[in-house]
Amino acid sequence: MTTYTATVSSPIGDIALVGDGEALSGLYMPQHRHRPPLPDSAVRDNAAFDAAREQLGAYFAGERTAFDVPVAATGTAFQQEVWRALTEIPYGRTWSYGELAQHIGKPAAVRAVGLANGRNPVSIVVPCHRVVGADGSLTGYGGGIERKRFLLDLERGAIA
């Protein structure tokens, strides 16, 4: 299977998109933690990501609150469960790691939920930035805390 990649300019820097031409399997910001290396055979193809690029543009313009591009993120069954739950956090709202753990029916798994959240390979589209500390503080984010703050401010309407 061919891996395609493209770069999209955004207000938070260039975003790298990775996928198979059908679904998005990665969305990474500069210096993104846990970013896997691209295979040597990866093909640069902007057309493979037309829908994702269009939806990201609308999101950053404040015109889109959810994404409907196909996603094929690779992870454990538990990670997949956490990532699905992330898509249920309403635009402009945040949940704590504890609330996310409670939402998936595993209230004692707060730490594991945090680790799964941090390994989300399709950030923004699967909105891991909407998860904060129990006291509302901004905690770790694979793309960096300053980008997390920007995304939350964007969703709260603080950025015009």
Percent of the chain with pLDDT strictly greater than 90: 78
Q: Is residue 71 part of a domain?
A: no
pLDDT in tens, 120-156: 999 999 999 999 999 888 987 878 899 999 999 999 9
Residue 25 has pLDDT above 90, yes or no: yes
Tell me whether residue 74 is one of the annotated catalytic residues.
no
The residue assigned the tokens 């990474």 is 28
Residues 6+ apart with CB under 8 A from 36: 26, 121
What pLDDT, on a 0 to 100 scale, did the predictor assign at position 123? 94
Whether 53 and 84 share a structural domain: no
Question: Which residue of the set 18, 69, 128, 151 is catalytic?
Answer: 128
Q: Is residue 66 part of a domain?
A: no
User: Residue 14 maps to which CATH number?
Assistant: 3.30.160
Question: With bands split at pLDDT 50, 70 and 90, how would you rate the model's confidence at 160?
Answer: low
Q: Is residue 8 part of a domain?
A: yes
Q: Is residue 69 part of a domain?
A: no
Lowest mean pLDDT across 20-34, 93-107, 108-122: 20-34
What is the count of structural domains for the chain?
2
Which tokens belong to 89? 């956090």
Maximum separation of any 2 CA atoms in the chain, in Å? 45
Whether 95 and 127 share a structural domain: yes
Q: Is residue 139 part of a domain?
A: yes
What pLDDT, on a 0 to 100 scale, did the predictor assign at position 30? 82
Residue 159 has pLDDT above 90, yes or no: no
Q: Is residue 68 part of a domain?
A: no
Q: What does the DSSP 8-state code read for residue 149?
A: H
Q: Is residue 48 part of a domain?
A: yes
Which tokens belong to 1? 């299977």
pLDDT in tens, 67-94: 999 999 999 999 999 999 999 999 999 9
Q: Domain range for residue 104?
A: 77-155
